[in-house]
Structure 1
Amino acid sequence: MNIPFLGLAGGLSRRIYAAFLIAAVVPTALAGAIGVYLSLTALKNETLRNLDQEVTVRSQGIGRFFEQLSSELLYLANTRGLVDLTAARQSGDKWLLDAATKRLERDYAALASLYPHIYQIRLLTALGDEWIRVDRKPAGVYVVPRSELQPKGDRYYFKDAMNAGVGQIYVSPLDLNVEFGQVEKPERPVIRVATPVVGTTGEKIGVLIINLHADILLEQIQQMADARQGTAYLLDNQGHYVSRSAGSSQGAFSMEPIERLLEIFPASITRNLAEHGVSPVLDDGWIVAHAPIDFAPQAIEETSRGRWRIALAFPERELFLAVVNLYLLYVVLLVALLITAIGGYALSRHLLRPLEALSRETDAIASGDFTRQVVPVGNDEIAALGTKFNSMARRLHESSLAINAHRERLEAEVRERTRELERERASLEAVIENTAEGILAIGRDGVIHLLNPAARGLFAQTTALPDIGSSIETYWPQWRAIATDASDGGLRCDVELKNQIVSLAVTPTTDGFIVVARDVSLERAILDERRELDRQMFQMEKLTTLGELAMGLAHEIGNPLAGMKAVAQAMQYEEDIPPDLIEALKRMESEIDRLSGFLRSFHGFAAPQAIQPEACKLELILEDVLFWTRKDARSQGIDFTLSGFGDLPPVAADPHQLKQVFLNLLVNAVHAMPSGGTVSLHAATKGKCACIDIRDTGVGMSVETQSRIFEPFFTTRREGTGLGLAIVRKIIEQHGGSIEVASQPGHGTCFTLTWPFAWR
C-alpha cells in the first residue's frame, strides 16, 4: 500500500506525525502502565496471601484429623482389653484369650466405623504376625478370621514402628498396600499410623497399626488444585511427592522423587521445597506456597527430609491474564490513540502540501535536469525555501556545463596517458620475457600471477611445470615462512630443494610479492668443494705440526724415563731397602711404563711405520683379534657375531697394522656397551674393495661427537689418550681405504671400512 506523505520532505512528515503520536501515546501508555503495574502488584500480593492462607488452613485441617486419629490410636494401645489380652496370652487360658480378642475386635470395628478413611486396623505381635485385623470393605467393616491373618514381620513399617518409643506415633510414607506379597488390586495408596504396644512389665509386645486411605490427603490437594486452577503437591518425609492438577482425574497413583521437580520448577523453588524454605515464593514465572503437616505432638520424624508438606503452584502469567480483563482501560487507550493518529495525519498533510512540489523538482534535479524551477506561494519559511531552491538550481546548471567541458579535456588526457602506459608495458614485458633471471609475481595467498621463461626453467626438474594460477607452495614448500619474513621490507634468501638451490630476492607489494630467482646450485657446490679443500689443507698442516711436536716430546721425555726406570729397578735389588720403599719403587716403575706406552702412541701417530702390504684373509685376522678381546667382552655380557667374511678375497694390508685397526675398533665397541650387548661384524664386496660394518648396540654418539672422534687427543673416556681412532684413520688412508661413522644417542654406533682387495 502506498501512503503518499510517507515519502515526502525527507521524512519530515513522518517526524511531525510521530511527534503527534508520541505526545498522545506517552502519557496514555504511562498511565496505563502504572495502572496495570498497581493492579498486578495488588493482585499478586492478594494472591500470595490467599494462597499461603489456603495452604496453611488445609495443612492445619489435615493435622487436626491426624491429631484426633493419633489420640484414638494411643487410647486403643492402652485399653483394658489390650491388657486382658496380654494377660490371657501369658496365662495360656484359651477361653480368656478368645474373649479378650473378640472384645478388641469389637473396639477396632467401632473405630473403623467412625472414620470412613480407615482402611485397616491391625494388631501385630512382637514377631510381626497379625493377631487382630479389621478391614473396611464396600459392604462395611469386616473382621478378618484368624485363618486369613498374615505375617508382616518383614515389612519396613512394622520394623520402624517397633523402633518407636512408647507413646510415640509413627507415620509411614505414602505407598500402595501389599497383600500376600503382591500389590493389592485395584491399587490403593495408604498411609500407616502406628504405635508400639507394651505388656504388663513395660516391654514391647507388638504394634497397633491403622491403615488410612490416602484419599484423605489426595482429595485435599485435588480441591486446592481445582480452586486455584494450578497444581497441588503432597510431599512425604522420605523425599517423594504426588501431584494433582486442576480438573484431572485420580488416575494411577505414582510417587516421584523430589528431584523430578527440577523438570518443572527452577532450582531455587525446588531447593526451597526440599529444604523447608519460606512460603510463599515467587521465582522464574512460578508462584508456590507450601505448609507442613503436623500429624500429632507424639509423631516422630523418620529421616532428615523433615515433615510431610502440601504445596500449591501455578504460573505467574495467570495474574497477567486477570489484568487483561480490564477491557475498559484498553478501549479508552485505543480510542485516544486512533483520534491522535487521524489528527496528526490531517495536520501533516496541510503543512507539507507545499513541500510536495519541492520534492518533485528535487527528484528531477537529482536525475540530471538542472533547468527545473518551483513557484513560491506565500511569504512563510517554505516560500523562502522555494526561492533558495531556484537559486541553487541555476548555479547547479552553470556548474554542470563547466564540469562537462572539463570532463572532455580530462578524457583526452587519459587517452593519451593510456597510450604511453601501453608502450611502457610492452617494453617491460619484453625485458621480463628475455631476462636471464627468473621473475615471478606471487599473490598474498601464494598463487602465481606472473612468471617469465627463465622462471619456468627453474622448475625444469619438477614433474609438472607451474603456470599462472598454480600455488607456489607446491614447488617451494618454504614459501609461507619466506613470505612472512619478507612482509616487513623485503628478503634475500636461498631455497634448498631436492636437486637444486635457488637464490631469491623477495620484494613485497600491495597485492603480494615480486620475486627475482636464480639457480645457484653449481655455485654452492663449487663453494662447498673449496671449503672442504681448505679444511683438509688445514687439517694436514695441523697434523704435520702435531706430529713434529709429538716426535720432539717423545724424544725429550723418552730418554729421561728410561734412565728413571733403570735407577728404580737397580734400587730394588739393593740390600737393607725397607719394604715400603720397594713398593713405592714398583709403583714408580709402573707409572714410567704407562708414560712410555703413552709416548709410543704419540710415536705411532706422528711417525707410523712404513707399511708392508701383503694378501691378508680378514677372517684369520679377526680370529687373532677376537682371541684377545672375547674374554673381557664375555665378562661384560657382550657377544660377537660375524657374517660374510668367509667368501671375501684377501685384502692388501700390513697384517700388524690391520690387527691394530680392528683391535682399536672392537675395544671401543666394548667400552660403549657397559650394560652388555652385541657387536656385529659384516663384510661384503663393493666394487674392488671390501666393505666391513662394525656395529654395536651401545650408548651411541651425538652429532657433535661424531664430527670430532678422529681428531687427535679427543676422547670421551677419562682414561683414554684420544689417539686410537686418529691412528686407525691414518692407517686406513695409508692403505688406500676409508672409514665412516654413523650413530644415534641410545641406538648404537656403526663404523664402515672400505679396504682394497689384494688382486684387484
Structure 2
Amino acid sequence: MKVRPERIWLGLGMGSLLILTLAYLFVLHHDLREHQRLDALAIHQLVTARILGHLELVRLLPPSAPAYLKGLAWLTDELQGQPLLSGVMVWTKEGPLLNSFPEAISPLAKKLLKCPLELEKDGVFYLCREVRGWPGPGLFILVGVDESFKQDVWREGLLHGLVILAGGVAILLGVGLYLEGLRRKEEKLRETLAESQRLATVGRMAAMLTHEIRNPLNTLSMGVQMLREVGEVRPEILDRMGREIHRLSSLAEELLSLARGIKVDLRPVSLKEVVREALASPKALAEMKGVEIKVSPFPEDSVLWADLRWLVRALENLLRNAVEASPAGKTVELRITVSPEETVFIIKDQGPGISSEDQRRIFDPFFSRKREGFGLGLFIVERVVKAHGGRIILSSHPGRGTSFEVHIPSGGKNHAQSAPHRG
C-alpha cells in the first residue's frame, strides 16, 4: 500500500515535535538538577567557612574560657536565616558536633552519613563532604537544601512542554486535513479532466470514423452506379473501388489493434525474413513514386527475438511513411546494426522533415498531417516497439529529412519475454 507524501510529512512533523518537546524537558530537568547541586555547594562552602573560622577562634581562646564559647550551638541560630537550608549536621570520627535538622528529617539525615554524597529525597537535596585541612581526626559536614520550590518549576515546565506539544499536534493535524482536502480536490479535478479527455477522444474518433468511412462508401456507391449505367466492367472503376475497400480494411484493422491492445509472442525470427517482408509493400509504392529504397548490408544470418507479424508491420509502416514523404528521384535508406544487446533499424528519408511542434505529438493517437491519414500508424508503431521491450527515437529537421531508429533487444536474454505481452 502506497503511503501518500502528505502523511509522511505529517508523521515526520509530529515526530520532530515530540523529539523537541522531550529535549526541552530533558534540558529543563538537567538545569534544575544542576541548580540544586550549585545551591547545595554554595551553602556547604558557607557552612564550612563559618565552622573553620569558629574552630580557629576556639584554638586561640584560653583554657579558662567558658564552654559555650567553644561549642557550635550558636551556629544553629545563625543558619536558620538561610531560606534554602533545611539543616546541617557536623561530626568527626570521634562523634557528632552539631545537628540542626528538624526532628522529622533527622533520622533520615543520620542514615546519610556517608561522604562524599549527593542525593535528592522528599524535596531535600543532601550534600556531604569531608573538610580538608582539619587538623583533627576528620571533619564531615552534611547540608540539606530545600528544593521543593523547584519541583513546582519542573511541574510548570512539564505543563508548558505538554501544551506546546498539544498545540503543535493540533496545528499539524489542521495542516494535514487541509492538505488532504486539497489532494481530494486535485484527484476530483484529475478525474474530471480525464473524463473530459476521454469524451473528447471519443468525439474526435467518431468524427474521424464518420469522415473516413463516408468517403470510401461514397466512392463505392458511385462506382456501383457507374457500373450499372455503363453496363460493363471497367478496370479503372474496379481499381478505385479496390483502393477504397483497402482503406476501409486498413482502418478496421488499426482500430481493432487499438481496441484489443498489442499482443506480442516473442520467438526466434530470421532478420533476413523480417527485412524481406517489411520491404514488400513499400517497394511497390516506391516504384510507383520513383523513389529508391536503399538497404545497407547487414548480417542476414542474424536471429532476434520478436513477433514477426507485429515487427514487420511496424517497420513497413515506417518505410511507407518515408516513401510517401520523399519526392520522386530521392532515396530512402534502411540501415541495420546488430550487437549482442540489440538490433537497431534506422530508416531515413529525404523529405521535408517534421517541425519541432509536430514532433512532440507525432506518436499521439489520431494525430496526422496527411490528408488521408488516420493518425494511428505511428501510435501503433510505438506500442509495438515498447511491447518488444525496445524504444523508438525520432530525429528530424525541417528541410533535411527524417530518421527513425527502432531498437529491439536481441539475444537469448529476452527468452523469458517470449510469453504473450500486452502493450
Larger Rg: 1
TM range (shorter): 0.3 to 0.5
Higher relative contact order (CA 8 A, sep 6+): 2
TM-score (norm 1): 0.24
